[in-house]
Chain A
Amino acid sequence: MVLIWALPTLFGIALATALAWLGTSHSTAVAARAATGPVPRWAKVAVELPTSGTSFPAGSGAEIANAQCLICHSAGMVLRQPPLTQDEWAGEINKMRNSFGAPMPADQVEVLAKYLRGIQGSQSPSGPSILDAQGS
């Protein structure tokens, strides 16, 4: 589906690599070297990305999670988080609202934070938050 240049390129790379290894074992090789192999012939790439069928588990606030969180990302990332306090969840939700533009009314934040804490059951910790709630 893509290029026809892989085989000769791989052979060239294997040869060059073998020669380089013979000469440079146990010393620091130069970071970059001349490329070998033919110039690529480009071909169009078209793929299909899988979709997630996962929705949030039932509970008070699930309708907000399904309506808001799933606009930008699938549920799996949320469900795979470690236990967080309600305040920490509110921090995550407000990051989505303030930094990423989630169109969520302010009065839904605590309802959703309580729901997200709740679906992690009794594992959720208590005490002050230690998180810095960055955008990454």
Chain B
Amino acid sequence: MQRPRVLPSQPTRRRFLAHLGGIGLTGLLGASAWEATAAELVELPFANGRRELVTNFPQKGAVLLQRTRPPLLETPFEVFDQGVFTPNDRFYVRWHLASIPTAVDPSTFRLKIHGHVERPMSLTLDDLVREFRPLEIAAVNQCSGNSRGFFSPRVPGGQWANGGMGNARWTCVRLKDVLDRAGVKAGALQVRFNGLDAGVMPQTPDFMKSLAIDHARDGEVMIAYAMNGEPLPLLNGFPLRLVVPGWYATYWVKMLDDIEVLDKPDDNFWTTKAYLIPDTPFANVAPGQQGVKMVPINRMVPRSFFTNIQNGAVLKVGQTTTVRGIAFGGDTGVAKVLFSADSGGHWREVRLGPDVGKYAFRQWEVSVRLSSPGPHNLMIKAVNTAGIAQPDHANWNGAGFMRNVIESVSVRTT
């Protein structure tokens, strides 16, 4: 797809120089010391949304700081305008537990496969990459709570804008091939995944997630050892990460070193008590609604975003402008992306960029010509190949999961 130039816009993203711990000391410390205490701040568009743009996390460029320990880092949204693959150094980061190894030695690292199998194994990284068929898959990794900050009424949790997601090309081997080598015994129900991270307190439940045995052996769930052609950044799970295409990132266990085949349902905290959604379409309930059946979060739903235009942009009446963005289908491919220049009154299909895989981001673009002066509400809506469209109204649930409402931007023409 040809890359149009970024639109002239009046960004809602405001920049500040903040004196972090250095207020009033400028005159005393001089310019260089003042700069050392200054950070760029970004206003995410919801209450209490001011975030520092930081560059002090290892193997990471400029990212939005949600929490230092354990790290919670958001991808600044303009990164998504630069292409369908999210660069490793801008890729969002989300850890649950603060005891994270800061060094990993590939010569001693082992991936263990055990439990309800014929032949328990302990694989080196070289075993994994040499003895199993190497594959590549492009897939979106999205936090269950991506966009939680936009929930209304607001809910607690990581207060992300829309940057709790990314798309990468994962170099990997099939989980199925590894399980087959170990020989799954009859009666296996689930496969449980654990990484090198742990809680600070011994009482804190270790972070583990499970998949049904048939899902684990479907040939699409992968063990990734590279991300966009390079080793994973440590904060994205070096050296190995589970890739569960089409499913929320909570299942994509980082620093994966332990795979256990279970012959009874996993009863660990993170599977039974956390990451539960209402068992309703789009996980939607009314605020305060009680007695809804809860189930583990699972498949993603379609989303689409504007990437080269923001709220407050000013366009010229009668002039043709290229508006573009990204879309993904959730647990399947994008069938079409629809654009409206009149708040959803009329929709038309936009042009789609190259398809790099059905679980990946896909670029879209549309030529827009607005003939009347004044405010306009532009909307974008993805429909996936299963026929699921983004909903008109935002979903709501108490944990702030699975937001995927139609996105809109307010612009003005002069």
Task: Give which listed residue, B137, B156, B269, contacts A88 with CB less than 8 A.
Answer: B156
Contact B287 A130 (CB under 8 A): yes
A2 and B352 CA atoms in complex are apart in Å by 36
Closest A residue to B276 by beta carbon equals A134
Query: Which of B95-103, B189-197, B259-267, B306-314 makes up part of the contact surface?
Result: B95-103
- Decide yes or no: A77 and B199 within 8 Å by CB, A3-B230, A46-B103, A47-B59 being known contacts: no
Would you give the shortest CB distance from B155 to chain A, in whole angstroms? 6
Cα distance A81–B148 in the bound complex, in angstroms: 11
Complex interface residues of chain B between 276 and 308 (CB less than 8 A to chain A): 276, 287-288
Contacts of B96 in A (CB 8 A): 136
Report the Cα distance A26→B64, complex, angstroms: 34
Query: Is the Cβ of B156 less than 8 Å from the Cβ of A92?
Result: yes
Q: Kindly state whether residue A106 has any CB partner on chain B within 8 Å.
A: no
Chain B contacts with A in 86-130, Cβ cutoff 8 A: 96-98, 100, 102-107, 125-126, 129-130
**Which segment, of B25-33, B68-76, B371-379, faces chain A?**
B68-76
Residues of B within 8 A of A82 (CB): 46-48, 149, 154-156, 159
Interface residues of chain A: helix, strand, loop or mixed (majority): loop
Q: Which residues of B contact A84 (CB under 8 A)?
A: 156
* B97 CB, min distance to chain A CBs, angstroms: 8
Tell whether, in the assembled complex, residue B69 and residue A51 are in contact, meaning their CB atoms are under 8 Å apart.
Answer: yes
* Residue numbers in B under 8 Å from A76 (CB-CB): 65-68
Looking at the assembled complex, report how far the CB atom of A46 sits from the nearest CB atom of chain B, in whole angstroms.
Answer: 4
1/0 per residue B211-238: CB within 8 Å of A? Answer: 0000000001010011001110010001
* Pairs across A and B, CB under 8 Å, 17 listed: A10-B229, A28-B333, A32-B222, A42-B239, A43-B106, A51-B69, A53-B21, A72-B200, A77-B72, A80-B48, A81-B48, A100-B203, A100-B204, A103-B201, A123-B47, A134-B275, A134-B399
Residues of A within 8 A of B (CB): 2-3, 6, 9-10, 13, 16-17, 20-21, 24-37, 39-40, 42-54, 71-74, 76-77, 80-84, 88, 92, 99-103, 123, 125, 128, 130-136
